[in-house]
Each structure stands twice: as structure tokens, then as C-alpha cells.
Amino acid sequence: MRSKQLELFVGLFVVLGFISLAYLAIQVSGLRTIGNNNTYQIQARFDDIGGLTERAKVSVAGVTVGEVDNIVLDKELYMALVTVNIHSDVTTIPTDSAAAILTNGLLGEKYIGISIGAEEEYLKNGDELYDTQSALVLENLISQFLFESTSGDNE
């Protein structure tokens, strides 16, 4: 019957929509299965976060192990207090590891790279990383360079 055929086509249409959506989700945006609600939180204070934003990645040896959850100003120390979510299956980050704000590529976005320390104690939920390195701010670099080069000339 004509209406059966119609319903078939409409059904196919909707299915096509879902397939496309799934394709976009998985292949295009790399949506992984969302089992990563298991995270624990670490904090770190930086002098200057540069252009670090929330949801920026956090990596160890270049492998993404978490993301930035929250950035606020610590009003007593006037430093940036960054809260980071780390995946629960990464449990072996030593407590003396260093966190640095690095740039992805030459003009890319900022992310946090953690260099592993030597301690045998590992980070737990709520711990803080004390060894931090702020972002390289381009203007400071340039003025530093100019200053050094001019003072160098004067000698």
C-alpha cells in the first residue's frame, strides 16, 4: 500500500539521520565512550597561566591523562589556582612532579604538561602540585631579549 511505502521511506530518512549523527560523533569529533566520569582532582598554582582555558588537556609524556576543570584567582597569594581532573586509571603520578603550561605547536592552544618526579608517594584526590612553571608570555620574552641585547651592547 502506498502509505506503507511512505512510512518505510520516512523511517529510512530518520535512520540515515541517526547514522550521520553517529558518524559525526565518533569519527569526526572523536567522542569516546563516556566512562571517564571516574576522575580525581589535583590542584596547582601558577604565576601566570598565559592563555590556558578550562577543558584544556593535561598530559604526561605527551599522553592526555585529564583536563583542566576550573581556573580561579587565589586572592591571598595572587596566583592562578588551577583545578585539574585526572583519569582514575592514572594513579602513579609522584607527588613531586612538575606541572608546566606549554603551548601546542607554535601558535596553538595552551595545555598542562606534567613531568614525572622521583618520589614514591603518588598523588591522590585533593593533592597539590607545588612545582609549577608558568606559561611563556611572548611579550615578556621579547622584552627580556631586547633588554639583554641592549644591556649587552652597553658593556
Partner 1 sequence: MKSIQYIGSASLAWLASFGRGGLFLFQVMFHKPKSLSSVFSLLFKQIYSVGVLSLVIIIVSGLFIGMVLALQGYTILAQFGSEQAVGQLLALTLLRELGPVVTALLFAGRACSALTAEIGLMKATEQLSSLEMMGVDPYRRIIAPRFIAGLICLPILSIVFSAVGILGGEFVAVGWLGIHGGSFWSLMQQSVFFSTDVVNGIIKAFCFAIATTWIAVFQGYECEPTSEGIGRATTRTVVLGSLSILALDFILTAAMFGDF
Binding-site residue total for partner 1 (CB under 8 A)?
21
Q: For residues 26 and 153, give the distance between their C-alpha atoms in angstroms, rounded to a whole number.
A: 57
51 binds partner 1 (CB under 8 A): no
Q: Judged by CB, which is closer to partner 1: 32, or 75?
A: 32
Q: Judged by CB, which is closer to partner 1: 46, or 111?
A: 111
With CB under 8 A as the contact rule, which of the stretches 9-17, 40-48, 69-77, 142-150 interacts with partner 1?
A: 9-17
In this structure, what C-alpha cell is assigned to residue 119? Answer: 618520589
Relative to beta strand 57-60, strand 79-87 is: unpaired
Hey, which residues does 53 pair with through a beta bridge? none
Q: 66, 71, 68: which is closest to 81 by C-alpha?
A: 71
Contact footprint for partner 1 (CB under 8 A): 3, 6-7, 9-10, 12-14, 16-17, 19-21, 23-25, 27-31
